[in-house]
Every structure is written in C-alpha cells, then in structure tokens.
A and B are shown apart, each in its own frame.
Chain A
Amino acid sequence: MTADFTLLRRRALLVAAAGAGLVPALALGQAQYPSRTVTLVMPLAAGGAADALGRLWADFASKQLGSPVVVENRPGANGSLAASYVAKQPADGYTLLMSTASNMALNQFAYKSLGYKPSDFDGIALLATTSQVLVANPGTGFKTIDDVIKAAKAKPGEIAYGSAGKGNSTHINVEVVARHHGLKLNHIPYKGAAPAMVGVIGGETQLVTDAATSAVPQSKAGKVVPLLVFGPSRIPALPGVPTADELGIKNTYGGGWYGLSAPAGTPKAILDKLNAVTQAMWADPASKAKLAAIYMEQLPDKGTGAVAAYTEQYAKRWGPILQELGVQAQ
C-alpha cells in the first residue's frame, strides 16, 4: 500500500542518512511524532480489565501526545493473533501492541507454531500488573485457605477447581499452591474466566481463581468467599485476605503483567517518549485512581528494557511448569 511504502522508504532514507552522519538524534519525522493517529492493538476482547487498562493508557496518551491514540481489539489464541499482526507492521511508532506475559513469555510453550517471537518486538514500558484471587463457593464452608488444605487432605482428588483454561495463569496459580501443600485437587478447565466464575458460583466446582476485577465484586456481593490473593500485595478492598507470598508459597504466577511493545527497530526516541507517557500516567492522581479502581498496580521496573526482562523471567519460571502440565493448545 502507498502509505506503507512511503513510510518504509522514509525509514530507509533515515537509515541511510544516519549512516552518513547527517541526521541528529531526533530524525526527520520523529521530531513531529506523532503526526497522525496511533493504534494500540489489544490481544483480548473488549470489556475486561486488561482492555480497560489499554483504553486508559490510550486516552491519557492522546492528551499527552496531542494526537489521537485508538484501540483495536484483535483477540485470539491467548494474544498470539494480535502479536503476530503487530510484528509485521512498520516500526514507526504508529502501531503498538499490548504485550502480556501470555503472548510474550508463555505462548511459546503452549503453541507449536506461533508466527512471531519475542525478539520481533522492542519494549516500551511495563504498564501494570493485577492480582488474582482464589475464591470458594459459599456452600463449601471454606473461609480460609487452611480450610481448603484440611478438606483436601481428608478427601484427596475430591475438591474441584475451575480455571480459564489449561495452562492459563488461573490454572498455574492453583497448581503451585497444591504442590506446595502436597494436595490432590481436581482441575476443571473452562473456556475462559467468565464461564469458570459461573461454574464456581453455581457449585459445579468448589474453587476458582479469577482476576481481582471480577473476584472482588463477587466476593463483596457474597457470591463467593475470597481465600487467597495471587499478587504483590493485599487488595485494599479485602484487607483480611493474605497473599500467597505471605504464607510462604513462593513462585505463584500472580496476575501476570501487561506492557507496551512496538515492532523491532522502532526509533529509540519514540520508545522513550511513549515510556515517558506511561510514567506520567502513573504519576497523575486522576489516572492512578482510575487504575486502582480496576485493580491495576504499578510495577517497580520503569525502563524500556523491562518488558524484555520480564519476558525472560516469566519464560524461565513458568515455561517448565507449563511443559510439565503437558499444556499444548492447537
């Protein structure tokens, strides 16, 4: 297409010019970045917490950059479809990807062929992390994780827990807890978080883990009982529910992470600019409040290199578990 060609050609010119030592740090086109609409491609369907996070960022970025930033949802294959699409876009800062622990770190263990690799992207910034909560059907009588442990030891294999899918973080988190305590639990995978939550409320399963955005309101409404938090800190709305870390259960997956990435080769000045927008968002009290309302927390690593670092960390830590669990999607 004409637009792509022009951009590609401009990039080639820039590369050539840079080689000739004629171009200063902010090269032609970059000084005015962005000069048109930027698209953030989301790896999940609209409506969930991650989607809300992306839209919050896009809205804030539009104001900071003085240019529209729109969101495009391309769900599918645990975020692979969105990633392989963005990998093929020009590295000019106008198409961005919401990278996640799934599409960057774990999918390589779950899918035989992906259509992209993590090195096809340059990291911009870590956006946020969120927590997950292990909840129980109220009819079980479970009020704490100790109740679950006692019951599971008394009746191995009888307590069922749902998850959003085999190999999904909601599966891994509970697996780690079960292994830590030597419990035999019965895993029932669902096709997504929503049906898994419906399953536990209806009594089909006794336990499920879900993102805080859904688990907290359900707990408050009395539909489920919160038992354990997978994440860096206790959730303000559930101050009495301990984290897995606190109880000495290390290496739970937590809530994963969300980040921003661009196709590899994107100019550093653009990556830095978008990173700065992200830090500004977290420093802005109004944005911070909105993020807290969707249970998003800031991660401590703020540089552009953080996405790559977390990708490597997550692959190393949970890749093997996924392989052990024999996870293989289509």
Chain B
Amino acid sequence: MNETGPLRIACAAGFSGDRTDAAEPLVRELRARGDGGFLVFETLAERTLALAQLARRIDPGAGFEPLLRDMLRPVLKECVESGIRIIGNFGAANPRAAGQAVVALARELGVRVPRVAIVSGDDLLQSNLLHKVSSTGGEQDQGEVVSANAYIGARAIAGALREGADVVVCGRIADPSLVVGPAIAHFGLSEDDLDMLAAATMTGHLLECGAQVTGGYFADGVDKHVPDLDRVGYPIAELWPDGRCVISKPPDTGGRIDRHTVIEQLLYEVHDPAAYVTPDVVADLSRVSVKELGANVVEVAGFRGQQRPATLKVNICRARGWLAEGEISYAGPTAESRARLAADILRKRLPGLAPLRVDLIGVASVFGDDGNDYLARLAPGDARDLRLRVAAFHRERSQATLLAREVTALYTCGPAGGGGIRTAVTQRLSTHACFIPREEVAELFSFLEAKP
C-alpha cells in the first residue's frame, strides 16, 4: 500500500477515564473526508497497567480497560461498516479478553464481526523475561513485582493492519506507535524512512492526549479563552507524504486549535526536543515550523528522525506499601490557626509516620514540598476557609491506617469547629524504569478466532 494521499487518523481518548463521547463526531468527520481512516484510543498511563494486573489477579477475565465497551459502543458499527480501523492500548493487562469483549460487542450490535488482532510481547512477566532487564529496582521496602512491561513499538500493529485487521488491541506500547503503525501500513514505510517515522511519531504525540491539543487543558477563564469545553472536539490528524502533520477537529464542536494549543502539546512530556526517544525512532522536533492554515487547522512540519535505540524502555511496577491521607476543614474566624494547631497535634501523635506531609488547602498545598519547607516559610495568616490535609507513607498497612484514625479522632480531641473529615488508605505502586535489549522481545500479533 503506497498511498500518496494523507493518512487520516483521529484520537478519541487520551487516558483511562477520559470522556467516552468523543468518538462519534470523529467517525462522522473521518467518513466525510474520505476512505480508510483510523481511530485510536490511548488509555494506559504508567499506573493503569499495574492496577489492571492487580485486577486480573482477582478475576482472570478482567485487566483490560473497564470503559472499553462505553468507548466503542457508539461507533463500532459505523467503523466496521465504513472501513475505519480501530487501534487502542485498551488491552492493558489482558488484550485477549479485551479483544473478546470487542467481538461480543459487535454481536450485540448486530454488526459483522470485525477481524480483531491482539498484539503481544510487552508483558515480560508473561514471556518470562524479567531477568533480562538492565535493573529491576528492588530497594529494601519494595514489594513483589506486580507488572513488568516493555514499551514495544509499531511493528506488530503495522503487521496486523497489513493482514487485514479491523481492530488492533494492544497492551503496553509506546503511545505514538498508535499512529506509527498505521503510517507504516499506509505509506509502506521501511525502518530507514527515519524522517517519516519521526513525523508519524510526533503526529501520535500530538494526538495521544486527546483534547489537550484541541483546546483542552488550556483555558484560564481570563485571557486564554476556549469556547464550549463541554463539547470540545477531539483531534484529527492528517499526515502527508512529505511529513507535514495537519491537526484539525470536527466542525461544530467546541475547542480551539491554534499555534498556542499545538505548541503546548508538542512540548508536553518532551525533554530534549532534538531527541525524543521512542521504540520506532528518535525524533527531532527542535526545528519544526508551526503554521495556522485556517481557523482551527494547524500544520506542523520539519520533523527529522534518527536511528531508533538498541534497547526498549521497560516499566516495572511493584507493590510498595500504603499511602495514608486524612483531611479536615475549618472555616470562619481563626480557621487558619485552628488548622495549624490540628497539624501540630497530628505530628505529635504520629511520630512513626514522619515525615508527615502537611497541606493547608486554600493557602499552601500543591506547590509545597513533602519536606514542608514551603509551608514553614509561609507566615501564618487569616485564611477563613481551608482544609488541612496530612499524608504519609508506610510499608505496613496497619501503620499507615494510624494516620486515618488520628485524623478521625480530631472530632473530639482536636481544635474547635473542624468538620468534613475524609480519610483514605491506598496501596502504593512504585514504578521503576529500566531497559531491555530490543532483540530479546518478540513483538507479535495474532488474530482472534471468532467463535461460531
């Protein structure tokens, strides 16, 4: 398939928990623009996969994106009937079960059952490759390994598409591979088409957070205006054979695409812009041009590519103890001094949980450091409506729970007028990044046989 027309690809989800109603306008617009579009879903943050593994331990049929059916139900029929192919990492820790859920959904909707391909190779526990990674992280308070996944690239996705997959279900992949895979298939790219691979990678990067490029996470209610965020349009990218990427969105949706929203997303999670490392290529975006082609249409051009690395990045998640949090509100006159008094009491009651982080939400919270330096330098004030939050970590759940108990005890033992206590004790998962030689990992795809 050596197409001269652009690759058309839309993203309907930027993370697990994103809106589930973004796909319909995208599918409608893709159909209007021509044949052979792609729809991708990115739903795997670092922690999500580890949590999915835990879910799968409890229920072997679980471990994939819980909102998968909600995301696909509105558009599966239309995609299958119009040839728009779907790719997603919503397989998480159980791509096979996710694939089966897609087939079941198709049957439920009375649609021709799509050809579903499952990508595998990322799960190093499953392939028994943990011993091949560069370092497994184990510090003294680290618990068992919950998940170990390599960030594989686009090769398997491209292969599955070439063999006629309608839906490609992945576990852990490098997010931009959701676009690089279709690009390889659409343009017939080889490993040496470095500049096009870089353009496809950065197109994926622009798309992979959904509305973050179309005006989401941009407005400030003062000068940065974005219309109709309640119905923000999600992005559609055109990748042209000359490496230009054009970002637009369905007409009649909210949002805003201009050089400012695009540059914010372009640099998001990028370190050295001359070397954005992915399993498929090392992309150089340091010299790109950004041009507004019209209202809500922006072109980015000038991506360059370098040879991909010899290793794949690996994410190892371990169970690591417990995070304890407790909050209580104070309001009206003397609210701040009452909150500070409560913090003092808790410090004295919880010596075993030091360092105890203290936030005065409404005065000093998210900017502060865990060592409470920021708070210490703040002169006490007269805040009249604030929420005291304390947080601590402990290897053992029973110790962590002490924090919750002590915060609750403030109802009778603490300062006057405190209310609205909430506490939480949650399993901590640590993530550790390391590497594995590329040749150790077999990136495979296989088709799900539809049961008769």
Contacts and interface: CB of A to CB of B under 8 A. Distances in A.
Interface of A: 143-144, 146-147, 233-243, 246
A233 to B, nearest CB: 4
A237 B295 CA distance: 9
Contacts of A235: 294
A240 B236 contact: yes
B299 A246 contact: yes
B296 interface: yes
A234 B297 contact: yes
25 contacts: A143-B33, A147-B5, A233-B292, A233-B293, A233-B294, A233-B295, A233-B297, A234-B248, A234-B294, A236-B251, A236-B295, A237-B251, A239-B248, A239-B249, A239-B251, A239-B297, A240-B32, A240-B238, A241-B33, A242-B238, A242-B246, A242-B293, A243-B293, A246-B244, A246-B293
Q: Nearest 5 A-B pairs (CB), nearest first?
A: A234-B294, A233-B294, A143-B34, A239-B248, A240-B33
B2 interface: no
Given A236-B294, A240-B33, A240-B236, A146 B248 contact: no
Nearest to B4: A146
Task: Say whether chain B's binding surface is mostly helix, strand, loop, or mixed.
Answer: mixed
A234 B246 CA distance: 11
Contact of A144 (B29, B34, B251, B294): B34
Contacts of A241: 33
B31 to A, nearest CB: 10
B2 to A, nearest CB: 12
B192 interface: no
Which of A234, A235, A237, A240 has most B Cβ within 10 Å?
A: A240
B8 to A, nearest CB: 8
B193 interface: no
B211 to A, nearest CB: 16
A25 B236 CA distance: 56
Interface string B45-74: 000000000000000000000000000000
Contacts of A237: 251
Interface in B26-45: 29, 32-35
B293 A144 contact: no
A233 B298 CA distance: 10
A240 B244 CA distance: 14
A143 B299 contact: no
A211 to B, nearest CB: 16
Interface residues of B, number: 23
Contacts of A144: 5, 34
A236 B296 contact: yes
Interface string B286-322: 0000001111110100000000000000000000000
B49 to A, nearest CB: 34
Contacts of A238: 251
Contacts of A239: 29, 236, 248-251, 294, 296-297
A273 B296 CA distance: 34
A188 B296 CA distance: 35
A147 to B, nearest CB: 8
B295 to A, nearest CB: 4
Contacts of B33: 143, 240-241
A143 B238 CA distance: 14
A144 B238 CA distance: 13
Contacts of B244: 246
B104 to A, nearest CB: 33
Contacts of B293: 233-234, 242-243, 246
A237 to B, nearest CB: 5
Given A240-B29, A240-B238, A243-B294, 11 more contacts: A144-B34, A233-B294, A236-B251, A236-B295, A238-B251, A239-B251, A239-B297, A240-B8, A240-B248, A241-B33, A242-B293
B236 A146 contact: no
Contacts of B294: 233-236, 239, 243
A238 B246 CA distance: 13
A144 B33 CA distance: 8
A146 B4 CA distance: 7
A168 B299 CA distance: 31
Given A238-B251, A239-B251, A240-B29, A146 B297 contact: no
A246 B35 CA distance: 21
Contacts of A147: 5
Interface in B5-33: 5, 8, 29, 32-33
Contacts of A242: 238, 246, 293
Contacts of B249: 239
B5 to A, nearest CB: 4
A235 B244 CA distance: 19
A241 B29 CA distance: 11
Contacts of B292: 233
B27 to A, nearest CB: 13
Which of A233, A234, A237, A239 has most B Cβ within 10 Å?
A: A239
